[in-house]
Amino acid sequence: MLYIYNYTIRWLWAYFKSISQPNTSQTRLLSFRSHLLFKMIKYLKPLQLFQESRMRGTVFLGLNFTDKFVSLSISDRFKSYATEFGAFPRDERILDNLVDKVQECVSDEYNTLEGIIIATKLYPVGPLVNIHTLMEDLCKKGKFESLKYTCWKDNTASRRTDVECNLDFDMLDDASRSLGGRGGGDLLDMLSAKRMLQTSLDVLNTLVERER
């Protein structure tokens, strides 16, 4: 009888000790997932990202957030020019739409996506965007194997940016008015990513040339 009692006590002690400690296999799994996520997402400073990719024929995707829209643009493979890559409303489908756009870039066999350049502003409009959380969510939802990104302070402009974006605006504004479409303010928002990406390309190319 005493043997059964002692055995029961030892069993209960082992049981409560086991449930009081974390599940090591589950802990390892969570740690492994975090490690994979860390490997999938890589933040670089703008000049570092540009220098690492300059000799590769890859493209950058530009993102800019306004109070109404998410504007997108894409660079050429020489990282000299930016073109519009669409815009969509800033609503509850923002993450799904971003995944679709990034997937479109990733799937393009002619234009390999190098990284994403995201505009940040001194005086942001609309709800604040946590860039790093957004990139984590984008990588998880899209199941992208790797994703490099940087942030660009959208408070400068180059001469070429002003000329090209003004021409684009005039053309789009005329077309929009002829069709009874959106006003000038919305069109400027839709072109904001191109303006930001073109400026960043001009500035970064100039900095690299000066270092030679």
Average of per-residue pLDDT values in the chain: 76
Residue 46 is predicted with a pLDDT of: 94
pLDDT, one tens digit per residue, over 75-111 is 999 999 999 999 999 999 999 999 999 999 988 888 8
| Residue 181 pLDDT greater than 50, yes or no | no
The span from the CA of 42 to the CA of 184, in Å, is 36
Q: Is the pTM of this model over 0.85?
A: no
pLDDT, one tens digit per residue, over 157-176 is 555 555 555 555 555 544 44
DSSP character at residue 63: E
Between 50-54, 99-103, 142-146, the lowest mean confidence (pLDDT) is in 142-146
Q: What is the mean pLDDT of residues 55-62?
A: 93
**Domain 44-211 classified CATH 3.30.420.140?**
yes
**CA terminus-to-terminus distance, the chain:** 88
| Strand order across the 147-153 sheet | 41-43, 147-153, 112-120, 58-65, 69-75, 82-89
pLDDT, one tens digit per residue, over 11-48 is 555 544 544 455 555 545 444 454 444 456 899 999 99
The span from the CA of 70 to the CA of 189, in Å, is 8
Q: Which has more confidence, 98 or 212?
A: 98
Residue 22 is predicted with a pLDDT of: 52
